[in-house]
């Protein structure tokens, strides 16, 4: 797979910004997040749940205080 240009392109599109950061440990942060949250980022259901939680957090932060 290492020599497959399609795979390389896919990786660059999905992880490019992380790979371009001077802090090369950022890609490893994904594995750390999985362990910390006890979730599997390979699971579509888990990713969707995390995405919705992030959207709810963002909405709560943007909502005016009562």
16-28 pLDDT, tens per residue?
Answer: 888 888 887 888 8
SS3 content of the chain, % helix, strand, coil (to 5): 70, 0, 30
**What is the pTM assigned to this prediction?**
0.65
CA 4 to chain centre: 23
Per domain, the residue ranges of the chain are: 5-62
Is residue 2's pLDDT more than 80? no
């Amino acid at each position: 797979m290492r020599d497959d240009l399609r795979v390389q392109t896919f990786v660059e599109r999905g992880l490019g910004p992380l790979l371009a950061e001077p802090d090369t440990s950022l890609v490893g942060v994904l594995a750390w997040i999985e362990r910390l949250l006890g979730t599997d980022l390979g699971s579509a259901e888990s990713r969707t749940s995390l995405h919705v939680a992030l959207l709810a957090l963002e909405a709560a932060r943007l909502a005016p205080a009562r």
